[in-house]
Structure formats: structure tokens, C-alpha cells
Structure 1
């Protein structure tokens, strides 16, 4: 059965402003007289749509497959492991953990995974960065070499060359308890584990904000919606006939005032689960999900995960006073007062 396209539940602040303006500017307008001939067709379409919608909602519980929390978490972990990408035209420097002279692959993905295998949660991290010779013409007989390295400060990696002419592709791997930052608010510090192997350019943008204290305090939350009765406390859907509203999220603006924002290209890899931090379109608007939104994949780039111990802070944010609004047909809840964010190192 085909489903009618739904408006996106996530719009950036600029798009939302335009949508709100369009709604208000259309109030009170009257349809031209020549459009009256379309009314019978509209009525017929409306009756047909209501009939189809009734059948869909009546049968959807039988077609939906409940996603239990254990299954959802296992699937997400598998999906995270599939993420292994780096940044082209970037050469990272540092002590060598394994020479690339006799460590050769045919793709940066495999080079990345070889580093990840040396930095597991149940043991010491012996590799936190990798460098792959990816340009076959420039690399010559070095093509495919995979150098595994160790950064002294993974949150501030040693960059040797980031020019467009660089023949290297490089990436970072954050082991256990590494790569954790905080979104500080008056309601508490929300600790976030960054995912450079999933979204390296997105993580680089966030890390740039940490280099100067003046660049980390111009962000804020402006939207907050609870899980309602649609998702349970683990983020799994308890109501199979609805995916919102409410959508179970907080939304905000993550801005680096020290540089001109040029947009971040999509780096979709993991699905949106409870605690996922991701961009809306190409940023700088972002969201943090309180629910497992598998239906949003692969539209949004996820670049971080909130530590499970801090999810209660998110639940506190969605209890703040809000005002209802409509963005392009989607009902949303906007905070009566913005909540300022300070991006911090942990």
C-alpha cells in the first residue's frame, strides 16, 4: 500500500520562520471565484482519502513489527560498526602505531576498520587515527597504504596537511571514555559521545568550537517535545499507529560565531535512536532524539550519542513551558524561553 508523503517533522529555524509567515499571511484570504469548479473534485478526493486513511489505521497494527529495546539496541550497535569514514584531502600526523608500507587496503573503509579493531572498549586503545593514501595518481606505488597512528589529544588532532592537493584521507577513532563533550545548560551538563567514524566533518565542526572559549557559547534550544504515549521510556514505539506529534525530541541551533557557517554535507550512517544527536538538513540547526526514529533514516546525519546516564536531563528539558505552532502542516512545540547552550570539553 502506498503512503501519502508526510511533511518533515524537522525544519531548521529559518525554514520554520518562512513556514510560520506563510501560514499567517494566508489567513483570511479567499479563493478566487474561478476555482469554484474544482470543489466537486476536492470533495471526491477528500472522501477517497478518508476511506484509505481509515483502512490504513485499522490494519496498520497487524503490519507493524514491534521493535523491542534489546533488538533495537543490538541493531543500532551493528549499524554503528558499519560506520567507518574519513575526510579526503586530510593528512594527520603523529606517532606510528603501524606502518603503512606493508599494511595495504583497497579502500579507506577497510583502513578505518583496521584502526577500530585496535581500539575496542574491552581493552587498551592502540590506534586512534588512521591515514590512507587514496589518490591513485598522486600516490603511485604508495596507493592503498594504511598508516595507523596515535594522537596525543584526539579532540585536537595534529593536522599536517589539509589542502585540496593532499593525496591522503584520514580519520579518527574514539575509544571508551574518549571524545566526550558536554552541552552545558542551567539544567545540567548533557554529555555527548562524538562519532568521528560516522560523521567526521560534523565532528570537526564541533571540535572547532572547543578551540576558543569565545566560540562555544552562542547555541541554544528552541523546541522541546515529550515522548507522549507514542514511545516508552526506552524509546521504542508503544503506539504503532502514530509517529507523532509529539515527536520526542529537543531541537536547537549549534553555531560557531568564530567562523562563517558554510553548511555540512550529509554524512548519514547510524539510524536515529534515543539519545542521537544529529543535524537538520545541513545544519546548524540540530536535534536530540528521545525516541528510536528508524523512519528518519537516512535523511539526517547523526554525529553523537548522549550518554545514557544523562538522558534524564533531556526528559527535564521537554517538561519546560512551550507554545504550540505549525510548521508546514506539522504541529510542533516551541519553548517559551530559549535554553542557552555552552559547548564544553570534559
Structure 2
């Protein structure tokens, strides 16, 4: 699997509508709060034109794209961190995901009730972020209590962790999201056992009407400005348009997007943004039996990438036979790539590049 993304937001901002459109999962979507109680999950194949080209040329017996899992988490409300609206249960679901898609309503529609009575994206974001911060603060306070007692033994590692926790708590208490704290990655890496929500990569999903897809309205502009200072990304999407696209086959969907003057669907935009947020890339394995896409973190060595396929391949790694996608695209054949010297033999320390087509040699 590529990665999983939790979809959060206030009730009635379009979360479940967008989830259904992206995943075709058929989750309940209604004009009232808490129509989602247990999180809905949907797996979506990651569209990749490179893989389509490889499949066209190799003609394998089976094709396995990488996938992204979307998790539709119930709408949070004020007081969620204190248990309002089953808040603690919902917050625990958010802790499990790799990235967060925070849906923000950026359109007016008198037929769709807003839980706060009006459309105000900055207010809505503040409500959600406050609840997430409160939840992280509570986690830090409990962790500090436990670690303080244990650190009395003189353990230097525990003392180091305690110092980091206290630094984070001081910042969070001032209303800072962990991901906006300078050097937060290194700090959080020392506390891997604590899944802080506000340290997770975030994309704000601005749910807009059809007209705003081409030119930002004031609500979207405000979201972009806020995100720029928060180490977050913004994806603009129309839940209603995505619902229409979901009913079409791929060819019809492409024609529909062209007629709308859009280069890509909201799903493609969210996946691309997710890969950027999580620093991911895709490599391929290709043969007559199967063409398969694999998602890994950028900077991973060939041996570690082999382990994503199977631990035995990582353990018995001998070498990687690597063809870059650009060379394959130019030549159209693995055999010709080999004959032309474009298939390289790489060792275990080789850093896998986006689009690499790899065959791993290994001892059993």
C-alpha cells in the first residue's frame, strides 16, 4: 500500500461526499452532524501513466498498482478533546493515519446546514486545530508525568526525552501546532512511541463550488495564507464535481475534465500532494507474470526497498538490475534497454529513484 490518509473536518463540510467520490465506497452522507460514527475506509489505486505505459509494453499476466487508503473520520466539534460528540474515539482514529486531509467548506449553499451557522474557513480550521492541540497537550502531560518518575533513576535517554516533551508542551500550550515548531521532525523522531496528531503532515482540502475551481474565492485565499505559515499544503476540490466524475469510466472522466478545463481530478491532486507531504516515490517491478508498483520513502537504499517486497529478498540481496523509466520510455523494451547498456547493475547502497524499474537478484 502507498499510504493512508484520514479525512477530518467539522460536520457537514463535505467530508463523506468527498470520501464517497474518491473511493466509491458508498459511505452514508447526509445533511446532519455525525452521520459518520465508525470510520469508513476505502482503498484507491494510485493512477500512474508510467505504469500504464509499462503494462502496454510488457503485457504482463497481472497488474498491481500501489494504493492509497482514505479513512473518513466523523466530524469533530468544539469540545471533542473533552469527549464531546464521541470526540475521544474520533481523535484516536486520527492518530493511526500517515497524513491528514482537513476538509474545509469554502462555498455558500443555503440548502446545506453549517454546524456553526455560517461559512468561515479560518474559524472552522481553528476549531479543529484547537481540539487536536488539546489532545496532544493531554498526551504530553501524561507522558511527562510517567517519564519524570522513571527519569529519577538517572537514565540519560529518559532525561533527554523528558526535556523534549517539556519543550513541546511549552510550545503547544502557546497554541503552536507541533508541525509548525522549528526542527519538529528531529524532536518527534525521539518520541516515536507518541503519535502526536498535530505533528502529522496536513493538506487542507478546500471544498469549493464549480466556479471557484478555476479562480480562488476569498475563502480559499484565506486557507492558502494560513497553510503557508503552518507547514501545510492546500488542495482545491469540488465534492459535487468529484461525485459526477466517480460515475464515469476513465475515458469519460478524462473527457469530462477536459470539458471543465481541468488538468486532473481531485483524487489525483490529493494523491500527488500526499506523496509530496510524506516524501514518497514509486518504483516498479516488471515481468511477464506481473507489473507491480511499490511506494517507498525517498532516500531508501536498494536493499531496503527490496525488503518492501519480501524480507527474504532484503536479507539475501545480491544486486539490483535497474532501468530508469525515462530510458524505458525511450526504448520501449527491457531487452533493448539491456542491449543498449541502459540496464545498470547497482549494489545495496544504491538510492532508489522515482520511476526506477528494478529486478532484484538475491540468495534464498
TM-score by length of 2: 0.23
Name whichever structure is richer in strand by fraction.
1
TM-score by length of 1: 0.24
